[in-house]
Amino acid sequence: MFFGLLSLIPKTHAAELGLMDRIVAIVNDDVVVQSELQQEAAIIRNKLAKAGATNIPEAEIEKQALERLILHKLQLAEARKLGINIDEETLLTAMNNIAAQNGLTLDELATALQEQGMSLDEYRQELRDEIALQRLRNQEVISRIQITKAEVDNYLQHVAENPGGRDAYRLRHILIATPDGASSKEIAAAKKQAEEILQRLQQGEDFTSLATRYSAGRQALEGGDLGWLEAGQVPSLFIGELAQMERGDIRGPFHGSSGFHIIKLEDYKGGDKNIIKQTHARHILIRTNELTSDDDARIRLQQLYQRINGGEDFAALARAHSDDKTSAIKGGDLGWVSPGNLVPKFEEVMDSLAKGELSEPFRTQFGWHIVQVLDRRDFDATDEVKRNKARLALRKRKADEALQLYLRKLRDQAFVETRLQDNY
C-alpha cells in the first residue's frame, strides 16, 4: 500500500538531498529542511496534476506541504515517546508484501526505487515511519472507538428519514475553518471568505482547484473529494439539502462547529435489495484427535452414513454421535446458512447437493462430516447488510473525527516556528 509513493517521488530526489539544506520550520526539538519541503511539494504537485488542478499557486502548495510535514514530525515524535518501534521482521514482511502486490521481487523493488531517485535504505525508513504512524493511530485513536447498538439503530433511523430515498452520496467539500473559541470577527471573516468562494464556483471556477487552494479539510489535496458516503455518514448539517440537490449542484456555506462548509454533489445512489441464497442444512461431525485417528473418524462416519441410508433417523444419530455439540443437541441442524458462513470445503460439498440429498463422508480441517440439505431459499439480507454498513460507516466517521482532534491537539501543544516567508 506504500508502493504507490514511488510514482510521486521526483527524479531529482537524490540530487536535492545533496544541496545545502536550510531550515524552513522548527517543530519542538526537530526541524523541517528545504529538501524535505521540496520533495513533499513535488508529491502534492503530482497529485494535483493527476486531478487536473494545475493552476494552484506555488505558495499554496508549499504551505500545505509544510503543514503535512509538521504533522508527520509530531506524530513520529509521539510514537517514539510511546515506545512504538518497528522491528526488522515487521519491516521485511511489509516490504515483501508490497513487492508481491506489485508483481516484483525485493531486488526488482530496489531497482524501481533507484530509477525514481530513491535508495532502498531511504524507502525502508519511510516505510518504517509509516508503519509506526499506523500503529500510533490504532493505539491512540482507532482502538478506543466503540459502536453501540443504539448508535447503529439511530444511524439506520437517520437513513430511513433521509428524504429522496437516496442511500449514498459522492461529494466534494470545501471547509473554511474557524479556530476553537473563535471570536465573532474571526467567524465573520471565515463566512465572508466562504461566500466569496461560493460565488466564484457559481461563476464557473473549478471546484477541485478551489478546494485544493482554500479548503482546510483533510481531502483538500484530492480536490475536496470525500468519495462515497452512506446517507447516515453525511453530517446532519447538510443531509436535508443534499436530498434536494441534483448531480453537479453546489450549496453552502453551512456553518458548523469547525467552520463553514461548501459541498458539491457529484453523484448519488438509491437503495438496492441484497438477496442471497441460503441453505438449511444439518450435519454430523467426527473430530480427529490423539485418541481418534483420521482413519477411525472416517470409518465411524461411514458407518453412520450407511445407517442413515438404511432408514435410521439422522437427528437421533447426530444427537448421539456428532462432535459438534452446538448443533448436535438440535439433531445436527445448522439452521439457515448464508454464503461465506462455513469453511470453503464444507460449503462446496453442501452447494453441490440437491434438496434432501445426503453427502458421502468428506474431510475439513475440523474432521470428517456428512451433510444433508433440507431446503433452500432466497433471503432478503438487506437489513443485515445495512446494519453491517452502518457499523463500518460509524466507525469510519468516529475515526476521522477522533484523528482530526488528535492531530489538532498535537499541533496546538507543540512549539512550531515556520520560515516559509524567507522563500519569497
DSSP conformation letters of 256-309? ETTEEEEEEEEEEEE----EEEEEEEEEEEE---SSS-HHHHHHHHHHHHHHHH
Q: Reduced to 3 DSSP states, what percent helix, strand and coil does the chain have, rounded to the nearest 5?
A: 55, 20, 25
- Alpha-carbon span 237 to 255, nearest angstrom: 8
Determine how many CB atoms are found less than 10 A away from the CB of residue 66: 21
- Residue 162 confidence (pLDDT): 60
Q: Which residues, 6+ apart, have CB-to-CB distance to 77 below 8 Å? A: 27, 28, 29, 30
372 is written with which cell numbers?
444433508
Looking at the chain, how many residues does it have?
424
In what side-by-side order are the strands of the sheet with 333-337?
333-337, 275-286, 367-380, 362-364
In the chain, what are the domains?
3-140 (1.10.4030.10), 149-272+384-418 (3.10.50.40), 276-379 (3.10.50.40)
Backbone dihedral region for residue 229 (phi beyond 0: left; psi -120 to 50: alpha; all else: beta): beta
| CB of 420 closer than 8 Å to CB of 32 | no
pLDDT tens, N- to C-terminus, the chain (424 residues)? 344 444 434 444 444 444 457 899 999 999 999 989 998 888 888 888 777 777 778 888 888 899 999 999 999 999 999 999 999 999 999 998 898 888 888 889 889 888 888 888 889 999 999 999 999 999 999 999 999 999 988 888 776 666 556 778 999 999 998 887 789 999 999 999 999 999 999 999 999 989 988 998 878 888 899 988 877 778 778 877 887 888 999 999 999 888 999 999 999 887 666 788 999 999 999 999 888 899 999 999 999 999 999 999 999 999 999 999 999 999 999 999 999 889 999 999 999 999 999 999 999 999 999 999 999 998 877 777 778 888 888 888 888 888 988 998 999 899 999 987 644 4
CA 318 vs. chain centroid, Å, equals 43
Q: Which residues, 6+ apart, have CB-to-CB distance to 123 below 8 Å? A: 113
- The residue type of 59 is A
Q: Read off the DSSP letter of residue 333.
A: E
Main-chain dihedrals φ then ψ at residue 374, nearest 5 degrees: -95, -35
- Alpha-carbon span 124 to 222, nearest angstrom: 26
- Residue 20 confidence (pLDDT): 56
C-alpha closest to that of 60 among 212, 178, 206: 212
Question: Do the bridges between strand 166-177 and strand 225-230 make them parallel or antiparallel, or are there none, so unpaired?
Answer: antiparallel
In what side-by-side order are the strands of the sheet with 166-177?
225-230, 166-177, 259-270, 250-256
Integer distance in angstroms from the first to the last C-alpha of the chain?
36
Four-residue CA torsion sign, 9, 10, 15, 20: negative
Using CB atoms within 10 A of its CB, is residue 121 exposed (0-12), middle (13-18) or buried (19+)? exposed
C-alpha closest to that of 267 among 232, 225, 214, 301: 225
- Alpha-carbon span 83 to 214, nearest angstrom: 37
- Alpha-carbon span 214 to 195, nearest angstrom: 12
- Residue 8 confidence (pLDDT): 37
